[in-house]
């Protein structure tokens, strides 16, 4: 919200932000938005209709989902939002079917020459543990926010995990990066801003520094080959070994939690989306600053009564 508000001032437009949540009274974002509105969970059959009605009532022009479960229902309903003049910042559902499944992601990346950790279903790994190195990571195929991840030195540490819905990947060692990338409507890379994940809490970067990496930039250029139809903001994570070898292991087809660092460095995705929504000349470019350091801290919203 801070990024969008800052860019609205730069563009000289009057921006009003609505925040939607299942429990607005317990959402800090809802208390700093211009207005907060309660909505059903995105798994509820009435979710899309409720959000569309809110957009129509309040004249919303831009809808920005921020969590993975919202992406598919909104993507599948893009035509409904187009009819009422709302641009939804979400890629095609075919893209989400890949990014929402970590095993499918690994397969697609490998097919276009983007390095990725060796991956397999947990059930297959338990039948043949020698197919991967001793150190492995088990994770839900459709998980997010690092929930349910288990690191193990072999199959013994994975006994008891329900194999349905889990995959296993080789555990790579090295520096971990997130790349915030922005793609045009024609799926051409506009910019890609890597930052090293210096410290992570609950799956989200709390300390990071922007860096330039030709290898990570090349991965961002190739990504549309694995995700035909990709557009707008997304982020992917990679590990770079001391030898320089890298592997991409995660893609989020939305704004990443660390996007504010890219914004501060000069990659103003939020401004570009506002420009596109309002039909203004685009300032989208590949100009951003290296060595911008982000050190996050907790901030509280206090309410009496």
Q: What does the pLDDT look like over 38-97, one tens digit per residue?
A: 999 999 999 999 999 999 999 999 999 999 999 999 999 999 999 999 999 999 999 999
Q: How many domains does the chain have?
A: 3
pLDDT exceeds cutoff 70 at 103 = yes
Residues 178 and 166 in one domain: no
Residues 145 and 247 in one domain: no
**Could you tell me the CATH number of the domain that includes residue 37?**
3.40.50.20
Residues 84 and 163 in one domain: no
**Structural domain that includes position 68:** 2-90
Residues 155 and 244 in one domain: no
Q: Is 244 helix (H, G, I), strand (E, B) or coil?
A: coil
Where are the alpha helices (H) located in the chain, listed in sequence order? 2-11, 28-32, 47-58, 68-75, 78-83, 93-99, 102-111, 122-127, 214-226, 259-265, 269-278
Residues 134 and 83 in one domain: no
Residues 181 and 165 in one domain: no
Rg of the chain in Å (alpha carbons): 20
Give me the pLDDT at residue 146, please. Answer: 65
Provide the pLDDT confidence category of residue 154 given band limits of 50, 70 and 90: confident
- Residue 184: inside a domain: yes
Residues facing residue 197 across a β-bridge: 208
Q: List, for residues 190-218, the tens digit of each pLDDT value.
A: 999 999 999 998 778 999 999 999 999 99
Residues 196 and 163 in one domain: no
């Amino acid at each position: 919200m801070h990024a969008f508000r800052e860019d609205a001032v730069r563009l000289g437009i009057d921006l009003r932000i609505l925040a939607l949540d299942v429990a607005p009274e317990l959402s800090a974002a809802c208390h700093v938005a211009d207005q907060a509105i309660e909505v059903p969970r995105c798994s509820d059959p009435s979710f899309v209709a409720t959000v569309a009605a809110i957009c129509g009532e309040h004249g919303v022009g831009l809808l920005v989902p921020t969590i993975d479960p919202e992406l598919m229902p909104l993507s599948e309903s893009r035509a409904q939002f187009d009819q009422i003049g709302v641009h939804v910042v979400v890629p095609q559902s075919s893209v989400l079917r890949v990014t929402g499944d970590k095993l499918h992601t690994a397969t697609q990346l490998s097919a276009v020459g983007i390095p990725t950790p060796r991956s397999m279903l947990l059930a297959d790994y338990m039948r043949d543990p020698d197919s991967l190195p001793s150190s492995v990571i088990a994770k839900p195929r459709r998980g997010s926010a690092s929930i349910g991840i288990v690191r193990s030195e072999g199959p013994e540490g994975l006994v008891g995990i329900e194999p349905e819905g889990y995959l296993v990947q080789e555990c790579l060692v090295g520096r971990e990066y997130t790349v915030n990338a922005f793609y045009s409507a024609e799926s051409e890379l506009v910019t890609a801003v890597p930052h090293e994940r210096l410290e992570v809490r609950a799956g989200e970067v709390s300390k990071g520094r922007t860096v330039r990496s030709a290898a990570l930039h090349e991965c961002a250029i190739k990504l549309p080959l694995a995700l035909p139809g990709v557009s707008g903001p997304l982020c992917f994570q990679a590990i770079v070994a001391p030898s320089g070898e890298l592997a991409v292991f995660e893609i989020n087809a939305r704004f990443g939690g660390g996007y504010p660092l890219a914004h501060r460095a000069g990659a103003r995705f939020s401004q570009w989306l506002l420009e596109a929504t309002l039909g203004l000349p685009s300032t989208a470019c590949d100009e951003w600053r290296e060595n911008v350091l982000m050190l996050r801290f907790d901030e509280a919203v206090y309410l009496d009564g």
